[in-house]
Structure 1
């Protein structure tokens, strides 16, 4: 079936079950996928029919990224939104169509939770873009007096 329907091609980035990698060989009985640690895994072709398959690059290599940020209670939420949008719109790999979006998603136990949602054109740019955006967001938060929140614990000692 894999040879006739062609749900994957050599060079495609796929996730099958909990395994992700790049298709490097397609044979009659099995397909070889090279994972991101450069290990080759041979997967029986029937798994491509019986298991959940995500082909990240079959028709389009554009992919969405979600960066989560928790800021301290009392933070200026409009300033947080502007900082996140600035980081995204000024990054060279972030697509402008669709535009990046920021959402205030929840009142956490010790954080005001936000999500920055954006798109990059190439799957291979995901990790590098997240790293660079996280560093930029950290710097912009420091410059704008926005405290990135962390879990806090109060301890009361009784005699």
Structure 2
């Protein structure tokens, strides 16, 4: 295994699929490459934790290099609006927010699609390109905040999971309802007879 890591280190230094300063994801670790050595590479994540990853993992496993050729990257956000919402109007508002944001690139242009019918939501997918990864989280936060504010002003409800519960009972003597839903006298007369 030491030999495999050594050979993998040579491959990394010759082929350069990663360089110091690149933003990468390997396995479940995402961060910046801070050091490449013969046996292992150090990745510093966003919490400033340093991971020592054996070089063999870069050669034999899946590696995502966010900045290999350039730093342009795409964000994809899902917004679920309530059933009954005007999806065209909701899309227009979200698209304006994307196009007005100073860090969202004009080329390629941002886009919005009405992607699916969820259990409780009509799902809109927003896609936009950013020039680099530096402000990625800030942009996502600002877009989410703007959508929340603009949808509230426009009366568009951002949906959340809901369930309808229906209670059925076989006879009225076995059904004990809370006081707020006790049947009225006229409703009691319409209940089925006990058998």
- TM bracket (short chain): over 0.9
User: Structure 2: how far apart are the matches of 1:28 and 1:108?
Assistant: 49
User: Structure 2: how far apart are the matches of 1:85 and 1:153?
Assistant: 31
SS of equivalent to 2:135: helix
User: Structure 2: how far apart are the matches of 1:47 and 1:157?
Assistant: 55
TM-score (norm 1): 0.96
Matched, 1:33 2:23: no
Matched, 1:45 2:55: yes
Matched, 1:76 2:100: no
Deviations 1:115-140 (A, max 9, x none): 01110011122111000000000011
Matched, 1:127 2:127: no
User: Structure 2: how far apart are the matches of 1:50 and 1:69?
Assistant: 37
Unaligned runs of 5+ in 2: 1-10, 169-174, 176-195
Equivalent of residue 146 in structure 2, options 136, 139, 143: 136
**Bigger helix share:** 2
2:4 corresponds in structure 1 to: none
User: Structure 1: how far apart are the matches of 2:58 and 2:120?
Assistant: 43
Higher relative contact order (CA 8 A, sep 6+): 1
TM-score (norm 2): 0.79
User: Structure 1: how far apart are the matches of 2:87 and 2:67?
Assistant: 36
Unaligned runs of 5+ in 1: none
Deviations 1:2-57 (A, max 9, x none): 11111111111100111111111111111111111111111111111001111111
Number of residues of Structure 1 aligned to a counterpart in Structure 2: 159
Matched, 1:17 2:27: yes
Deviations 1:61-115 (A, max 9, x none): 0110111011111111110110110110111111111111110011111111110
1:109 corresponds in structure 2 to: 119
SS of equivalent to 1:65: strand
SS of equivalent to 2:137: helix
